[in-house]
């Protein structure tokens, strides 16, 4: 399918969340009509406040586990509907799994009915605790199928399966991105992720909670760079196979803490806690595929700059 119009009818499922709301804002700026679907379980209507007045924006409160009935045309669907931080997705693991699997099924059926292109926001968690680093899309992962993180990891892996089979069996025009750790404005201050925890703790005079010895690694992508990647993946002539989107600059959680202390106060102390179960020891994307297929896409916002912008945001909301 080739898209010729310049203004699309776009559904963003999970559009009230951190990434979804940033994506909705960008799509409106680009001149599209956006219908945001969200059950507001982890997303927030506050994230949508700046968009609500826009005549091309509409909001539907709905959990994607329920069938989705939409009268109007739909050209593109982004499926970002799922809790995404480990503490949040573990709160109701059955619902997390079903949101990813049944929600993907409902949205794929919608794409099939409307002849729409559809993107799955998958995750670096499909690689589990990887035995190779950096992780490229050809790596099948090292995932515990029945641990505390499995509801999300296996939910996303099953969603990838559904997307691939809808493409092969029904010729639905699918895209899959595997999103690595991302941060920026509209993150929940209480979502329990490392960036939001450290910044909130530093701003409120508390110690930074370091899980394990802090030697585990992650790589952090600023949300605007992710959104640019998501928009490009929805272009014509992008393959149906998974594409990593992340920052290839790998660092330890200790190094992140040091950077946040440099930005917010060197006297901020650390508090050590145990490492959560199945916490991956390393995570770092190989982004060669994204760079090759998406017009040279690479992250453009460095961590110091992205953290400074995120700190400004948190100062306003906490």
Choices 47-55, 140-148, 205-213, 301-309; region in contact with ligand UDP by CB under 6 A? 205-213
Query: Site for ligand UDP (CB under 6 A): how many residues?
Result: 15
The footprint of ligand UDP on residues 213-232 (CB under 6 A) is 216, 218
Which residues lie across from 211 on neighbouring strands? 273
212: which 2 tokens? 């394990």
Q: Does 133 bind ligand UDP (CB under 6 A)?
A: no
Separation CA 55–CA 46 (nearest Å): 18
Q: Does 279 bind ligand UDP (CB under 6 A)?
A: yes
Instruction: Give min distance, CB of 153 to ligand UDP, in A.
Output: 10
Catalytic status, residue 152: yes
Element housing 111 (H / E): helix 93-114
Neighbours of 203 (CB within 10 A): 17
Separation CA 224–CA 135 (nearest Å): 22
In the set 89, 152, 183, 222, the catalytic residue is 152
**253 touches 273 (CB < 8 A):** no
Report the residue number, 21 or 85, with the smaller CB distance to ligand UDP: 85
- Judged by DSSP in three states, 316 sits in helix
Instruction: Give min distance, CB of 276 to ligand UDP, in A.
Output: 5
Report the residue number, 55 or 269, with the smaller CB distance to ligand UDP: 269
Instruction: Give min distance, CB of 250 to ligand UDP, in A.
Output: 12
Separation CA 81–CA 247 (nearest Å): 22
- Alpha-carbon Rg for the chain, nearest whole angstrom, is 19
DSSP secondary structure, 188-218, as one string? -TTS--HHHHHHHHHHTT--EEEETTS--EE
Q: Contact letters (x/-) for ligand UDP, 181-200, by CB under 6 A?
A: x-----------xx--x---
**51 touches 25 (CB < 8 A):** yes
Pick the binder of ligand UDP from 276, 278, 301, 309 (CB under 6 A).
276
Q: Does 122 bind ligand UDP (CB under 6 A)?
A: no
Choices 4-12, 26-34, 51-59, 204-212; region in contact with ligand UDP by CB under 6 A? 204-212
Choices 41-49, 106-114, 158-166, 206-214; region in contact with ligand UDP by CB under 6 A? 206-214
Report the residue number, 9 or 218, with the smaller CB distance to ligand UDP: 218
- Judged by DSSP in three states, 181 sits in coil
Q: Does 250 bind ligand UDP (CB under 6 A)?
A: no
Residue 142 CA, distance from chain mean position:
20
- Judged by DSSP in three states, 15 sits in coil
Choices 154-162, 209-217, 244-252, 291-299; region in contact with ligand UDP by CB under 6 A? 209-217
DSSP secondary structure, 68-83, as one string? ----S--SEEEE--S-
Q: Which residues are designated catalytic?
A: 152
Q: Which residues bind ligand UDP (CB under 6 A)?
A: 85-86, 181, 193-194, 197, 209-211, 216, 218, 253, 275-276, 279
């Amino acid at each position: 399918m080739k898209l010729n119009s310049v203004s699309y009818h776009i559904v963003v499922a999970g559009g009230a969340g951190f990434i979804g709301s940033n994506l909705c804002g960008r799509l409106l700026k680009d001149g599209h009509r956006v219908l945001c679907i969200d059950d507001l379980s982890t997303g927030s209507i506050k994230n949508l406040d700046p968009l609500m007045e826009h005549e091309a924006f509409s909001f539907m409160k709905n959990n994607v586990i329920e069938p989705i009935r939409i009268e109007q045309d739909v050209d593109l669907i982004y499926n970002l509907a799922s809790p995404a931080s480990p503490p949040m997705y573990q709160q109701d693991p059955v619902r997390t799994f079903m949101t990813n699997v049944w929600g993907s099924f409902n949205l794929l059926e919608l794409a099939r009915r409307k002849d729409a292109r559809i993107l799955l926001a998958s995750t670096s968690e499909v690689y589990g605790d990887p035995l190779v680093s950096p992780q490229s899309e050809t790596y099948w992962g090292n995932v515990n199928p029945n641990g505390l993180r499995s509801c999300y990891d296996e939910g996303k892996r099953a969603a990838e399966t559904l997307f691939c089979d809808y493409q092969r069996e029904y010729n639905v025009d699918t895209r899959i991105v595997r999103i690595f750790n991302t941060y920026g404005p509209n993150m929940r201050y209480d979502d329990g992720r490392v960036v939001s925890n450290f910044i909130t703790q530093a701003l409120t005079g508390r110690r930074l909670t370091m899980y394990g010895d802090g030697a585990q690694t992650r790589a952090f992508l600023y949300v605007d760079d992710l959104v640019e990647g998501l928009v490009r993946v929805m272009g014509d002539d992008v393959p149906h196979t998974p594409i990593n989107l992340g920052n290839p600059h790998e660092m330890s959680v200790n190094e992140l803490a040091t950077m946040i202390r440099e930005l917010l106060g060197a006297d901020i102390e650390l508090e050590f806690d145990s490492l959560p179960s199945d916490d991956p020891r390393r995570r770092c994307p190989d982004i060669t595929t994204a760079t090759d297929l998406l017009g040279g896409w690479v992250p453009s916002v460095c961590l110091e700059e992205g953290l400074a912008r995120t700190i400004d945001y948190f100062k306003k909301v906490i």
